[in-house]
Amino acid sequence: MISELIENLNEALSTENASVDRIISRIDQTPIQEVKQRLKQHLEETYIQKNRLKRIIIGLGGKSTEAKADLSRSNLPTTMPMRKYFSKAAKSKSKSRSKTEGNGQEYSILEEDELVQMKQDFIIEHDELVAYESLIQTVQMTNMPHQHEITILLEKSMQEEESMAYWYKIHTPLILDNLWPKMIHPSIRRGQKFLLNYVSSKIPLIIIYADLVGSTSMSMTLPVDNLVTIIRAFTHQISHVVDSHDGYVLKYVGDAVISFFPGHVIKNKYSASDTSVECGKSMINVIKEEINAILNKIYGYPELFAKIGIDAGQNAIVQYGYEQLSPIDILGYSMNIAAKITSQTGANKVSIGDNVYKSLDRKVQREFHELSISGDRWKYINYGTDKPYKVYTLNR
């Protein structure tokens, strides 16, 4: 039993060894002074935690390890869009503080990466808390010399990790307030820049509505700070999913993100319809695997659900004003249909209009079934046939 405990202690030590390198790197790279100062304090705590573990291991007759754990096993983003994003952000870290798009507008890189890194920091802290709690329980159940002293040393380390995790929990909303304006505008700018080429014309587009379920109820029951955190996390992650599929964010409307895909074949050889459906499914996955994994399971926020509506058709591109930077919007039947489809869609479901369904690969079509909607709830028609416009929803 002692040998197994020493092995577990060395595993915790390897995590602290790796954490030292990560914290030093984070101190050097974070653009936020509050984070930098708190990490400096935690770096000193981590050195002390390492020494405590070494002292315990040697006292039990073991040899302390110099190995370093692979922290990426527990903290890399889990969904494919976020993996793509993280890889892109990591490659960009060595470049300038921001890159400039073709129209001279800046696209912030460090602020985006900082949000990802802070999320990883928190997950690592949470994993370390679990590890220390497990070690303390093992020590208390094992008959060994100096049991009380070992427990006290481990509890001190656990308290320091709890303090760091609590700091992130309290300060993340405040830090997000500073990062948010720099993070969110690039997604909108990409869409506006694309549409600028088509002002006062009609073009085929696939429209995606991503709607957060239950936000009205949350607005009446949650503290406003919690509600703001939820809306920001939702719009931020959904925007990244759209970007990762080479789509464009049009705008944010309350608790909804409206995005679009040009209605033509894109570089990955999937049709725009196939890609939009994959984007919709990824939106649901990012809610389950990214947002809820943090806000719900760690912070204790309500579990979030989304519903996605997608339709395709010709749309008019309208600019409100005569200056180049005047806002640009999309008007069209498919915009209205996509919104209505979303209202008929269940939680964590993706529904599509007939125009999208007909242009899907047959294999993808088999993932959907026709949605039955009563006539009093659905009055939209197919202008080609004057029959009710069909809507399909994902089987799962």
CA 186: distance to chain centroid? Answer: 16
| pLDDT per position as a tens digit, 284-308 | 999 998 888 878 877 788 899 999 9
| pLDDT per position as a tens digit, 345-387 | 999 999 999 999 999 999 999 999 999 888 778 888 887 788 8
| pLDDT per position as a tens digit, 29-81 | 888 888 999 999 999 999 999 999 999 999 999 999 999 998 876 544 443 33
Rounded-to-integer distance, Cα 359 and Cα 118, Å: 41
> Cα angle vertex 32, ends 31, 37, to 5°?
120
Rounded-to-integer distance, Cα 150 and Cα 59, Å: 9
Where exactly are the structural domains of the chain? 2-176, 197-394
Residue 182: partners with Cβ closer than 8 Å, 6 or more residues away: 108, 111
CA nearest neighbour of 64 among 6, 25, 115: 6
Residue 388: partners with Cβ closer than 8 Å, 6 or more residues away: 375, 378, 380, 381, 382
Residue 98 has pLDDT above 50, yes or no: no
The correct CATH number of 197-394 out of 3.40.50.720, 1.10.10.10, 3.30.70.1230, 1.20.1600.10 is 3.30.70.1230
Rounded-to-integer distance, Cα 308 and Cα 280, Å: 6
Six-digit token string for 359: 């242009």
Rounded-to-integer distance, Cα 292 and Cα 273, Å: 28
Backbone dihedral region of 261: left (phi > 0), alpha (psi from -120 to 50 degrees) or beta? beta
The yes or no reply on domain 2-176 and CATH 3.90.1520.10 is no
